[in-house]
Structure 1
Amino acid sequence: MGRVSRAQAELNRQHIVETASRLFRQHGVENVSIADIMGAAGLTAGGFYRHFASKEALIDEAFALAFQQALGAWEQVARRGRPDDESALASLVRFYFRRRAPEWTCPVLAFASRGDAIAPQEPATATYRQGVEALLARFRQLAQQASAQAGTPAPATGELDLLFAAMVGTGLLSRAVGDVPWIRDLQAAVLAALPATAPKA
């Protein structure tokens, strides 16, 4: 069998990262082996180390991809049309609470348990932190835009951070418990606490 071309090798590598990111989000990093990833990607396990120095190196890239995809999804939600009385922020929070396939779980939630298992010096630790920070920054921006749209003062940063934490925490509970009345109450409470969106008369 001939050697794989450089272009095909790069495609294979990207496919491995995409597959790993999906499996990590679905099953947890600690529950997915290199053999699992390579098998799901349709490649031989022995070829893994031609692409990555270690599983930790792949985890770092898979984390980065997952946060990139999450931020991209948030941007799509922020840009698409919505009712006049709903801000992009409210649309985002509704999107966040929506049930989705496990492989598309928010990376903040999907990878949180991995934090204790990754050594502080590992690149994936910084990648996770930077990914969460990017999502928090976008959340703050959308909240500020909602306030500007309504002609009201922007909430303090601490208030926005509390709302972000409430959204993520409610998302975690929703994922763990399912669609029960008190989860819906929590979701409604988070939505009700968002900056007012109705323009001043």
Structure 2
Amino acid sequence: MKVSKETVEQNRERVIDTAAKLFRERGIDGIGLADLMKAAGLTHGAFYRQFKSKDDLVVQAVKRAYDDMSADLARRIAASDDPLQTLVRHYVSDDHRDDPGHGCSLAALAGDAARHDDPALRAFFGNIVSNYIALLTRLVPGGDPVAKRSTAIAVLAEMIGSVVLSRAVPDPTLSGEIIDTVSNDLVKRHSTPISA
């Protein structure tokens, strides 16, 4: 029985969504294609009708994860009187730490991307970093563009580093301490409401 183009596209989207979640949870090499396709409710054979390679899927999945996270952050920031505080409190949080499958690809996969051979994946991660730096540069207070960019880079590194470290330590008390300390410190040092 021939599968319609619409069904093929729906299946492709389901695989990308599943991969976006599972790669962030388990790492790029932490799940094989057969298990990924099974999790998406499809056969392993269907994979090669939809993607050139696993690397192709990885790039598509990371893009999907980034687009979803960006849309969520944009909504939160637009509704806030203090966008930087909103961003920091959402990103450096127990919820983000505890749900990597729906979190930021940088915190979940930057180490994988740095070791990966695929230039498209590395380039996309470079774009994610650049986009976060641009967003944070707009949000940090101050007038000097060079100082704002430097601050944005430091804030981004602290945000990502705190989530990575909080996930890595087995002691829940220390994990929570990392999240709370970094979140509170960043807000205290850098957040100021935008005047109307």
TM-score (norm 1): 0.84
Unaligned runs of 5+ in 2: none
Q: Which position in structure 2 is the counterpart of 1:33?
A: 32
Q: 1:45 to 1:125 in 2, by over 3 A?
A: same
SS at match of 2:193: coil
Which amino acid counterpart does residue 136 of structure 2 have in structure 1?
Answer: F
- Which of 130, 148, 156 is equivalent to 2:148? 156
- Asked if the contact 1:25–1:103 (Cα under 8 Å) also holds between the matched residues in 2, the reply is yes
- Please identify which structure carries the higher helix content: 2
- Asked if the contact 2:132–2:156 (Cα under 8 Å) also holds between the matched residues in 1, the reply is no
Q: Separation in 1 of the partners of 2:133 and 2:119?
A: 22
Q: Which moved more, 1:6-15 or 1:173-182?
A: 173-182
SS at match of 1:111: helix
Between the aligned residues of both structures, percent identity stands at: 27
Q: Which position in structure 2 is the counterpart of 1:131?
A: 128
Q: Which position in structure 2 is the counterpart of 1:174?
A: 166
Q: Separation in 2 of the partners of 1:26 and 1:81?
A: 29
**Structural RMSD (CA):** 2.0
Larger radius of gyration: 1
**Superposition deviation, residue 51 in structure 1:** 0.4
- Asked if the contact 2:114–2:122 (Cα under 8 Å) also holds between the matched residues in 1, the reply is no
Instruction: Count residues with an aligned counterpart.
Output: 186
Residues 153-192 of structure 1 deviation map (CA, whole Å, 9 limit, x = unaligned): 3553212221221222122222223453641223221221
Residues 63-97 of structure 1 deviation map (CA, whole Å, 9 limit, x = unaligned): 11111111111101102245xxxx11111100001
Q: Which position in structure 1 is the counterpart of 2:182?
A: 186
TM-score (norm 2): 0.86
Unaligned runs of 5+ in 1: none
**Superposition deviation, residue 106 in structure 1:** 1.4
- Which of 111, 133, 140 is equivalent to 2:137? 140
1:89 lines up with 2:79 in the alignment? no
- Asked if the contact 1:64–1:131 (Cα under 8 Å) also holds between the matched residues in 2, the reply is no
Q: Separation in 2 of the partners of 1:88 and 1:33?
A: 39
Q: Separation in 2 of the partners of 1:194 and 1:135?
A: 16
Q: Separation in 2 of the partners of 1:174 and 1:44?
A: 36
